[in-house]
Structure 1
Amino acid sequence: MPALRATANLLGVVLEWFTVLLMVLLTAVVIVAVLARLIGESFSWYDEVAAIMLAWITYYGSALAALKRRHIGFDTVLLAMPPRMRGAALVLAELIVLTFFVLMAKAGFEVLAVLQGSYLVSLTWVPVQLTQSVIPIGACLFIICQLLSLPDYWTATRKGISLEHAEIEVEVEQEMQKAAMTHDFKDSR
């Protein structure tokens, strides 16, 4: 289990940095394009590149969200079920999600085969296969991240802990402790 957690942590750091890098690059591209338009020039490649970068941010960010279990979920419904049903529902939900992304990866590889020899319209030296590789890569990363995060999610769900509400509950608890300490401090005066 420690090796699994270390792998998840390493992948999380890589995905965070890569996603942030993509966001910074997209911001730079947008700023450069706006400044160019202000001086009367316009880049033919801006729209195409910005759309591709936004798609990449979405796919890689989605894998990161899967790793941290931050996608929209139904923890409240899941945790309202009896424990045996909860486990079965969790397994079914995971199988549905994983099946979807396996099919998406398969379709993504098929798309790459079809796009062989195609290049971007505005940047004729960039292969479309490169830009669209995010589909199967993103799907495979999502599967890996989902599987890496599954043991902790399984444990939390079996214990009746909602990952959706865990952070909120921790914050509330910290604020309650601060309030109690402030109250105790005022009473001691």
Structure 2
Amino acid sequence: MWRRRVERILEWISGALLVVLAVEVLAGVIFRAAGRSLSWYDEVASVLLAWITYYGSALAALKKSHIAFPGLVNAMPTPARFVALAVREVVVLGLFLVLAWQGTAILHALAGETLVTVDIPVTLTQSVIPIGAALFILAEMLNLPDRLDWARGRTAAAAPEQGVEKELSH
């Protein structure tokens, strides 16, 4: 239930950001063609692209669509598969915990700064770092029970990362 709600929210946010970026790029092209370039175009597009990357990455994690090696892990005996999963989870969660922690530190360091071309606080634009990291951690935690069942051999041989294969088969 929670997993589906989080997925829908991330889909909506990622889609909305993509639409906003597309409109902003189109406006930038039109204004540039008219000889009236928008001074804020590049800076805002960069921020939007970063936001799409972070929110989209959390969505991909929730859908188990990040690059993985399911064939290799499926070939492992159950105890080794469980160890591989444990190592993976510690590394991934550790990385994103550090990212969230350092992202928060960056927000404190940038307090009071604004973008160069628009009066938008840099803390707002960079807030995507700790928020995106926290969302990625949430996605990993929501998928952990299924991954543990699979690693212990309690579910079919389908690797949790088969979300990629499912998406590609459409």
Tell me the TM-score normalised to structure 2 length. Answer: 0.91
Which one of the candidate residues 120, 132, 142 is aligned to 1:138? 132
Structure 2 residue aligned with 1:65 = 60
Q: How far, CA to CA, are the matches of 1:144 and 1:137 in structure 2?
A: 10
1:84/1:55 CA distance change after superposition, 3 Å: same
- CA shift digits 1:131-185 (9 cap, x unpaired): 000000000000001100111223234332124447758x98xxxxxxxxxxxxx
Structure 1 residue aligned with 2:121 = 127
Structure 2 residue aligned with 1:162 = 159
Q: How far, CA to CA, are the matches of 1:109 and 1:166 in structure 2?
A: 31
Match for 1:156: what amino acid?
Answer: W
Identity %: 44
Q: How far, CA to CA, are the matches of 1:44 and 1:32 in structure 2?
A: 12
Q: How far, CA to CA, are the matches of 1:167 and 1:97 in structure 2?
A: 18
Gaps of 5+ in 2: none
Which one of the candidate residues 41, 50, 75 is aligned to 2:45? 50
Q: How many residues align structurally? A: 165
Q: How far, CA to CA, are the matches of 1:138 and 1:167 in structure 2?
A: 21
Structure with higher helix content: 1
Structure 2 residue aligned with 1:13 = 8
**Which aligned pairs between 1:1-189 and structure 2 lie closer than 5 A?**
6-123=1-118, 125-157=119-151, 158=153, 159=155, 160-165=157-162, 168=165
Larger radius of gyration between Structure 1 and Structure 2:
1
- CA shift digits 1:53-88 (9 cap, x unpaired): 000000000000111110001111111111111111
> Comparing 157-166 with 55-64, which one deviates more in the overlay?
157-166
Contact 2:66/2:164 (8 A) holds in 1: no
